[in-house]
Amino acid sequence: MEQEAASPGYWDNPRQAQSKMQQLGRLKDTVGLWRNLQSQASSALELTELALEEDDDSFQEQLEAEASGISKTLAREEINLTLAGPYDDRPAIVSIHSGAGGTDSQDWVEMLLRMYTRWAEEEKRPVQIMDLSYGEEAGLRGATLEIGGPYALGYLTAERGVHRLVRLSPFDPNHLRHTSFAQVEVLPAALDEESEVEVRQDDIKMDFFHSSGPGGQNVQKVASAVRLTHIPTGTVVTCQTERSQHQNREYAMRILRARILDLENQQKAEELAKLRGERVSAGWGNQIRSYVLHPYKSVKDHRTNFQSTNPDAVLDGGLEGFIEAYLISKVG
């Protein structure tokens, strides 16, 4: 690929060339990672053999640290081997919607938004809040964010589904236990050069309105919030997080392209399922995970039975165990 990139006429088709260069970059990263691991392992092995020959245990702590680091990287790469889908290495657009549970479910959306933001920050992944829709009393009716980094979509597919919260409600004057639900939707970001997604400007109806904050009050004097309606599919996207109408429109277009790409993939899956005679389920389905804060503390994934007794850590972004258990279960 490097030889091809150096050949005359490579950039005659800029879009194709840019796509190939991005693929080349990913391949270089992969090769570099494994060569670096090989070098680390060889160096540690040589040091171990030398220490044994000299009967010198002064390197033990250093070698243990190196071995631990290599093992962690290998474990992560083993997980990455399960991510072979066509979009697994894309940035992910994550939308969280309140479900049954009233104000508690809207507060639950805000808690989940923080959880995913914290996870992204801990993983040193770029994260961008794209849209917030505030609840009447507290919390959020909905939120959309984009998370990037290696295999973002592949990892975050583990979060797709209904999340259930059980706790003593801070919004109940009697402080009774309430159950609330939120739906998490995870879509692959449509790349700028995405040939599968064609969004014609003539097919888009654009409306502008005033951004609203908690309680529904307008927070902007200028109508900077954007609503896009894709007429052929009826898909509606709103964005109101930024003060700039232009920025909100850009975010809304990114979300719209992701939704249209997902719709096209769903149609392909349904057509394939009909040919195979498979049933394609529709709707929210059952919860994938329960977060119980009262009367005991637990977070349990119902697909893998992976469990944590420290919900505070999970809600602070500690999702690694749940994500890895789900990805391993898919290939197991």
Q: In the chain, where are the structural domains located?
A: 2-80, 93-189+288-331, 201-276
Fold topology of 201-276: Double Stranded RNA Binding Domain (3.30.160)
Amino acid in the structure at residue 227: R
Q: What CA–CA distance (Å, rounded) separates 183 from 106?
A: 11
Residue with tokens 């009909």: 274
Asked if the peptide bond before residue 295 counts as cis, ω within 30 degrees of 0, the response is yes
Residue 162: pLDDT over 80:
yes
Q: In this structure, what are the phi and psi dihedrals at residue 178, rounded to the nearest 5 degrees?
A: -125, 150
Residue 123: pLDDT over 60:
yes
Q: Which of 178, 233, 240 lies closest to 211 in space, CA to CA?
A: 240
Average pLDDT (51-60) is 87
Average pLDDT (161-169) is 93
State the pLDDT at residue 285: 53
Cβ atoms of 90 and 125 within 8 Å: the answer is no
Q: Which two tokens mark 64?
A: 């243990």
* DSSP H/E element including 168: strand 161-168
170 CB-near residues (< 8 Å, 6+ apart)? 107
Residue 1: pLDDT over 70:
yes
DSSP 277: T
Q: Between vectors from CA 106 to CA 231 and to CA 286, what angle results, nearest 5°?
A: 75
Q: Which two tokens mark 138?
A: 């507290």
Residue 186 pLDDT grade (very low, low, confident, very high; cuts 50, 70, 90): very high
Residue 94: pLDDT over 60:
yes
Residue 218: pLDDT over 70:
no
Q: Which residues pair with 131 in a beta bridge?
A: 144
pLDDT in tens, 260-298: 888 888 887 776 666 555 444 434 557 899 999 989 999
Q: How many CB atoms lie within 10 A of CB 55?
A: 6
Residue 75 pLDDT grade (very low, low, confident, very high; cuts 50, 70, 90): confident
CATH 3.20.190.10, domain 93-189+288-331, yes or no: no
* DSSP H/E element including 261: helix 245-276
Lowest-pLDDT range of 5-9, 77-81, 195-199: 195-199
DSSP 92: E
Query: What average pLDDT does the structure give for the chain?
Result: 85
State the pLDDT at residue 212: 66
Average pLDDT (66-88) is 86
